[in-house]
Structure 1
Amino acid sequence: MVLHLPLLMKDHVRGKRSAVTCALKCDNQCAKPACNTSNNSYIGDIVSAAISRRSLLGGAAASALVIAAGGTQGMGQAAFAADPSAPNPTIGSAPEAPNGSKLRFTPIAPVNKDVDEFNVPEGYRWAPVIKWGDPLFDDSPEFDWNNQSVEAQIKQFGYNNDYTEIQEIPGSDGLRAVMFVNHEYTNANIMFPEDMPKHDQVAITMAAQGLTVVELERKDRKSPYTYVKGGKLNRRFLPDTEYELTGPAAGSEFVITKEDPEGRTILGTFANCSGGLTPWGTLLSGEENFHGYFRANENIQSNARLGIDSKESVYGFEGNDPRFNATEDGYENEVNRFGYVIEIDPWDPTSTPKKHSALGRFKHEGANVIIAENGHAVVYSGDDERFEYMYKFVSKKKYVEGDRAHNMKLLTEGDLYVARFTGNSPAAEIDGSGKTPADGQFDGTGEWLPLILDGKSQVEGMTVEEIAVNTRTAADKVGPTKMDRPEDVEPSHHSRKVYAALTNNSKRESNQVDEANPRAKNRDGQVLELDELGDQTSTEFAWNLLLVAGDPNGGDQTFYGNVDPKSVSPISCPDNLAFDSVGNLWISTDGAPSGIGYNDGLFRVTLEGDMRGNVEQFLSVPREAETCGPIVRDEDYSAFVSVQHPGEDGKFSEQHSFFPEYNKTGPRPTVVQVLPIWDEAEKPKPKPEPKPEPKPEPKPEEPKPKPEPKPEEPKPEEPSAQPAPGKDPSDAAVPVAPAPKKPEKKKPVKKVKKDAENNRGPLPRTGFEAAPVAAGAAALLAAGGMMAAKSAKDAGPATEAEGDGQADA
């Protein structure tokens, strides 16, 4: 892997993300022509349906029922309920939370993009749960910046943690859990010394991606979780991990290679972005920007449609493993074996993960499941690239509560749809400025267009197998709506409405806008709310925009539901979504520094009533980092986020961040827990300035009298991944945030120039061992996943490049 920085800069779109990161995340997709060259309509080109919005919403409201089962972020709240005997924490003078949530806080002020701190509200603290390089197994070595190796990395926590999910281990009274994490991609520029051989960098990079399952524990419900080294459920998913391909593509001519003539066994997974929790306790993971890992023939239409070409790949995997060079005989189909939704069982370290082709092949941000009222499993997914589509899968068979073996086959067969949106407003009112239409809403109706129905192709000239592999091409033929980078698509288990994060699209022109994507040069994104007309298997829906993001105080044209835009926390580039136990929406962002000049963060959004659309910032991550994988356990007064690529624009010898330890060589991507300060002793200490490692002084030639000893400067306690027996795990996580300060008067932030073309630059984008199953896991297996299913009932401006491997793609 040779990263030629001047060449990378040549195609780099000016933005927050470094040229190296744009290359690594999405192979500079934002600098290339859009992959979607179809003539499919934008909403503004479609004649509005004759049915009025009011009648549609009335029908939708009438059909809404209470959630019976399902699973995505927001599942398992009851399992994490705080100790009922514990008094509610006094969290400063925080106001009451919407819908009675226990997670009360005073919103923090936006944090300037150059601040290298993790910020939380008054009355809260943060603690690292696990960091890149932390040893996972009994024989794993400790992380050593200057002595990295493949042998070490395969036994350590991977890089660039993204989607994260936590499930309680049954019978542990909430003190033990199992956590699943995606490792989306790697930043070689800040990981490795500049003189490390490139072959070694590639090998370690391969080992640092993939997935991790790791056990967690805590002393009590007021203490933070720490990971368990040597936990029986701990597992890394590596480049040589075998995956079973299921669905229509399995065994087809499109996936056979010389090393797999059966076309059913695939090695490894890469570019895993977001995901979802199923009602039966398994995890889904989306393979997103896989195109950047391969060399392949761009003259093959299906490759070109995904942005794959014959140049040397960004990572150079083909130099270490020939299967990543799909221009070579026998490996032409290797690229067709990536781009799927993966399902893994975190409760069985010996299980074989699956790649489900029935859900289609494209750049999956993630996948989220809800059980329809008629019993079918429904999966929503977004194709994370500019001008791409939203998809829905409906299982052929029905969910059976308690029958885990049956449910684990639900995603292998079913119907696949793609969405078309129609706007309610006259075309003249959607002019590209983002100005709200005369009726006060961006809204309309829509339909799910079938690609595969009852096991048969609904696309002329394509077989079911072709549709499963070349899903974008199939979708082009039926005329769906081109969206502004659909990322996380999450169904709420409270309202059963579906929410989609449309991150941004700086390539959209004024003549390409529509009511669902109403802004040209869209730097800040929007969140769409979709209401199925009937149950989740319906083919018709109503929709509206919950919010049109940006900073109204900076002159952006925004929309925040029922509230005054100038009263909300400014937000830009919505990426991942989650729900708390009472149904409030939470949004993590990726790209705010380039959009509004502040660090990315986590935000709560009220969905109902007079305050619908109110946005409140809960935390911000350090400079040049992305907030992803949010988990909100408000019943437990906690939230978790993955902090990805802090200090991404630095170099190994000139780091921009030192998060989370602040006294070492450089930054380490980290999963973080935010929880209340329960007493004075827990108040975090000020963060020390990063200090270089001391160098040994040369010995004097002649002995000299010793000076009086000076007292050593106190150093912060090193975070301990595995606290000593009897030690409070909260003490192990000392490098917490600096003591929270009361909100100060906002200092003026330098505004990014916004000319008539909204020229703020493109938005940042968006990355073994078999062991006996733990007793708690066995309990879950015996229960047939009932814990997961039942808990769902309660669930409930600088340089830029648009996030998530997408850099404004």
Structure 2
Amino acid sequence: MRKPLPLIGSNGSNGQTGSHPGGRSALTCRYRCGDACFHEVPNTSDNAYLGEVISGTLSRRTLLAAGAVATATAATSASVLGQAPPAAAVPAGGPGGRHGQPGGRPARGLRFEPVRPNTEDAVVVPEGYAQEVLIRWGDPVLAGAPAFDPERQTARAQAGQFGYNCDYIASLELPGERDRRLLVVNHEYTTEVMMFPGYDADRPTREQVEVAWAAHGLTVLVTEEQRGGRLTALSRHRLNRRITGTTPVELTGPAAGGELLRTSADPEGRTVLGTLNNCGGGTTPWGTVLSGEENFNQYFANAARVDDPATRKRLARYGLTGEASERKWERFDERFDLAKEPNEANRFGWVVEIDPYDPESTPRKRTALGRFKHEAAEPRLTRDGRAVLYMGDDERFDYLYKFVSKEAMRRGGRPADREHNGRLLDEGTLYVARVTGDSPADQITGDGALPEDGEFDGSGQWLPLASGDRSYVEGMTAEEVYVFTRIAADRAGATKMDRPEDVEPSPRTGRVYVALTNNTDRGAKEKAPVDEANPRRGNKHGQVLELVERHDDPAATRFGWRLFLVCGDPEDPSTYFAGFPKERVSPISCPDNIAFDPYGNLWLATDGNELGSNDGLFGVAVRGRREGEVRQFLTVPTGGEVCGPVVRERQVLVAVQHPGEVDGASADDPVSSWPDGPGKAVRPAVVTVRAEDGGRIGA
């Protein structure tokens, strides 16, 4: 029986407040990230803040002369791209900004009636659109996997079934199979109290723990498009695959085999069992899929009991400070007990690359990309074919990164070409961002008021951390930089950001968009003050940063930037929508995942809506007179989060993560009845949305 939804701010059964910072329930925070926002901020560095740089030795004139990127880069890049420069070069200029009063229809791809904010226990889509569940937690994926039975779930069954809490979705072509595509779906974390009837958090059973291991990782799944655009999942296809928390994964790149990655079970430091907390991801031009390991720290126990003080300090920088873990995995496998295996945690927090076209291939953790709480890794190519990846570290006051490969991609289909491309991410240069504003510090007031130039904008620099066996960070070896990347970035003087999550370049313009989800500690007296890229105290709604590489060169070490969106209630004076009239946008809070549609529009999935409504998916025009117009396309059920998303010409795919995760809810006492109705298990699922007439999305 479905129970009433608790009021926001009420206490759940665990005694914590019903809404953590960022609008997420205490139950979700407990299982997804180990209550990260209720622990001390891991970044205790005293890096110079943006405001201090401005008010100290560097004036705006000096910065522009030295970097030549704030407005010149934007204008130069825009000229190359054949579009108007960003607002860093053109002040907003009053209500409506440079848009004036835009008329006519919304941008192509966004022509639908926006969904209104709501709290329905359903996926709500615009009029004229249909939505269906494609695959749920526990649905069979591999041949021989049984039908889902929530009362009798086993680890063996789960290893052949769709995993829990689906997140990133990659959609790839499947040559030679008409109307079929290959999906790769991440499974971020497990919520045992929602999975197992009668679950006892203090005394989990071995079977429950092993089910959870099998429910992590990734699913590779073939889908088929039926008449009218409806998608179906093809279980038992030869390419279908489950990668779990115990699948052997190869460590590659410059840190592989080093002392910091060796354990008792793996003295060579080259093979890890499993991938955990897989959040965002990316697809490569050479046909592989990247998956970021995010809140891995929560799975490990007894960091406080590690004898070596230097090791304890390094663990603490990654949020590893406690004793018993939430899931108690250390009772069933000693590798999760850091007092016994302190290096095991170093083997998580990487970007994993898989080949979805080869079910026998070994996944690889790419150490050259650095170790932190990876939200995603979305690549683009330089003009000479080198791979460039942009990556966010999802933690309060952590950083934005970039990697540029040494070698160029080969486009041939020969085995030698594929082998070459399979090594691209093992050698290159890893950078971290220093972001500088162009306004005097006294104009960044913390209440969201725009500075005198009418825009939060400025310039930035990519600071090198390591390249191959060379370290650019004083006092750290290259191996230490890759394994303790956060510490290296602290020493390099990177800019503390408000939870950098998904980071993606536009496939049309090359501009890079960064979702800064929120940071309610921003501006707290003892923590980082506001700055031009993070301009609001107690930032609970987040913002979206737009970055333009100098001379439109992805390998450049200088860039220009502006805040494209400052999210929240449009009636709140601290919000900003690229200058678009605020009374004509959908309210948006806590941007997280990013995607682009075939027309070049930016799509944002939210996580932790602080406006009192369910999370949603939003389309935003990034060019033309409608630039900055936010339109809500869907909302997800009670307690859920929008992940994924994939926006194709005739389908939108989203992962509905943690539906029903409201404080006090459990498998025995659910709050939601989604997706299968009352009396059935609440199950995370992938949903497809299509136009009822079979036409194009938003066109």
Match of 2:317 in 1: 305
2:336 pairs with one of 324, 334, 341: 324
Specify the code of the residue in structure 2 equivalent to 1:617: Q
1:621 pairs with one of 636, 642, 649: 636
2:437 pairs with one of 414, 418, 423: 423
SS of the aligned residue for 1:501 comes to strand
Are 2:413 and 1:398 equivalent residues in the alignment?
no
SS of the aligned residue for 1:9 comes to coil
Match of 1:343 in 2: 353
Deviation string 1:18-65 (CA, Å, 9 cap, x unpaired) is 333212111111111110000112221222413374323223334548
* Inter-CA distance 563–17: structure 2 relative to 1 (3 Å threshold): closer
Specify the code of the residue in structure 1 equivalent to 2:387: A
Match of 2:583 in 1: 566
Are 2:53 and 1:46 equivalent residues in the alignment?
yes
Equivalent pair of 1:488/1:577 in contact (CA under 8 Å): yes
Specify the code of the residue in structure 2 equivalent to 1:359: L
Q: Residue 607 of structure 1: CA displacement?
A: 0.6
Specify the code of the residue in structure 1 equivalent to 2:475: G
SS of the aligned residue for 2:603 comes to strand
Match of 2:74 in 1: 57
Counterpart Cα distance in 2 of 1:440 and 1:577: 26
Q: Which stretches in structure 1 are left out of the alignment for 5+ residues?
A: 67-94, 683-809
Counterpart Cα distance in 2 of 1:315 and 1:491: 37
SS of the aligned residue for 1:254 comes to helix
Q: Residue 375 of structure 1: CA displacement?
A: 1.8
Counterpart Cα distance in 1 of 2:401 and 2:434: 10
Match of 1:485 in 2: 499
Are 2:558 and 1:543 equivalent residues in the alignment?
no
Are 2:605 and 1:600 equivalent residues in the alignment?
no
Counterpart Cα distance in 2 of 1:126 and 1:320: 41
Specify the code of the residue in structure 2 equivalent to 1:677: E
Counterpart Cα distance in 2 of 1:11 and 1:668: 21
Equivalent pair of 1:580/1:632 in contact (CA under 8 Å): yes
* Inter-CA distance 10–667: structure 2 relative to 1 (3 Å threshold): closer
Deviation string 1:372-404 (CA, Å, 9 cap, x unpaired) is 112210010000000000000000111111232
2:131 pairs with one of 113, 126, 132: 126
Equivalent pair of 1:445/1:542 in contact (CA under 8 Å): yes
Q: Residue 562 of structure 1: CA displacement?
A: 2.4
Deviation string 1:541-572 (CA, Å, 9 cap, x unpaired) is 0000000000123x352000121112100000
* Inter-CA distance 172–263: structure 2 relative to 1 (3 Å threshold): same
Match of 2:186 in 1: 182
SS of the aligned residue for 1:45 comes to helix
Structure 1 stretch displaced more, 294-303 or 315-324: 294-303
Specify the code of the residue in structure 1 equivalent to 2:569: D
Q: What does 1:509-658 align with in structure 2 at a 5 Å threshold? A: 509=523, 512-534=529-551, 535-553=553-571, 555=572, 557-592=574-609, 595-634=610-649, 637-649=650-662, 650-658=665-673
Match of 2:225 in 1: 218
Q: Which stretches in structure 2 are left out of the alignment for 5+ residues?
A: 1-11, 55-59, 84-103
* Inter-CA distance 606–13: structure 2 relative to 1 (3 Å threshold): closer
Specify the code of the residue in structure 1 equivalent to 2:513: Y
Match of 1:771 in 2: none
Specify the code of the residue in structure 2 equivalent to 1:395: S
Match of 1:237 in 2: 243
Are 2:156 and 1:142 equivalent residues in the alignment?
no
Are 2:279 and 1:261 equivalent residues in the alignment?
no
Q: Residue 11 of structure 1: CA displacement?
A: 12
Report the number of matched residues: 635
Counterpart Cα distance in 1 of 2:386 and 2:213: 37
Match of 1:494 in 2: 508
Query: What is the identity percentage for the equivalent residue pairs of Structure 1 and Structure 2?
Result: 49
Equivalent pair of 1:550/1:556 in contact (CA under 8 Å): no
Q: Residue 633 of structure 1: CA displacement?
A: 0.3
Q: Residue 313 of structure 1: CA displacement?
A: 0.9
Counterpart Cα distance in 2 of 1:254 and 1:10: 39
Equivalent pair of 1:217/1:228 in contact (CA under 8 Å): yes
Q: What does 1:790-809 align with in structure 2 at a 5 Å threshold? A: none
Equivalent pair of 1:203/1:320 in contact (CA under 8 Å): no
Are 2:457 and 1:443 equivalent residues in the alignment?
yes
Q: Residue 161 of structure 1: CA displacement?
A: 0.2
Match of 2:376 in 1: 366
Counterpart Cα distance in 2 of 1:670 and 1:12: 23
Specify the code of the residue in structure 1 equivalent to 2:211: I
Q: Residue 429 of structure 1: CA displacement?
A: 1.4
* Inter-CA distance 677–35: structure 2 relative to 1 (3 Å threshold): same
Counterpart Cα distance in 1 of 2:601 and 2:261: 42
* Inter-CA distance 454–287: structure 2 relative to 1 (3 Å threshold): closer
2:520 pairs with one of 498, 503, 506: 506
Match of 2:5 in 1: none
* Inter-CA distance 111–616: structure 2 relative to 1 (3 Å threshold): same
* Inter-CA distance 314–162: structure 2 relative to 1 (3 Å threshold): same
Are 2:195 and 1:191 equivalent residues in the alignment?
yes
* Inter-CA distance 379–621: structure 2 relative to 1 (3 Å threshold): same
* Inter-CA distance 58–14: structure 2 relative to 1 (3 Å threshold): closer
Equivalent pair of 2:602/2:622 in contact (CA under 8 Å): yes
Equivalent pair of 1:393/1:416 in contact (CA under 8 Å): yes
Deviation string 1:86-138 (CA, Å, 9 cap, x unpaired) is xxxxxxxxx8551x33x6311111113xx201100010010111000001123
Specify the code of the residue in structure 1 equivalent to 2:654: V
Specify the code of the residue in structure 2 equivalent to 1:624: G
* Inter-CA distance 9–42: structure 2 relative to 1 (3 Å threshold): same
Equivalent pair of 1:415/1:452 in contact (CA under 8 Å): yes
Q: Residue 340 of structure 1: CA displacement?
A: 0.2
Deviation string 1:654-680 (CA, Å, 9 cap, x unpaired) is 21111111144231101000001128x
* Inter-CA distance 659–536: structure 2 relative to 1 (3 Å threshold): same
SS of the aligned residue for 1:441 comes to coil
Counterpart Cα distance in 1 of 2:129 and 2:474: 57
Match of 2:252 in 1: 246
Q: Residue 430 of structure 1: CA displacement?
A: 0.6
Match of 1:669 in 2: 684
How much is the aligned-residue C-alpha RMSD, in angstroms? 2.0
Counterpart Cα distance in 2 of 1:41 and 1:352: 42
Specify the code of the residue in structure 1 equivalent to 2:169: T
Q: Residue 148 of structure 1: CA displacement?
A: 1.2
* Inter-CA distance 366–372: structure 2 relative to 1 (3 Å threshold): same
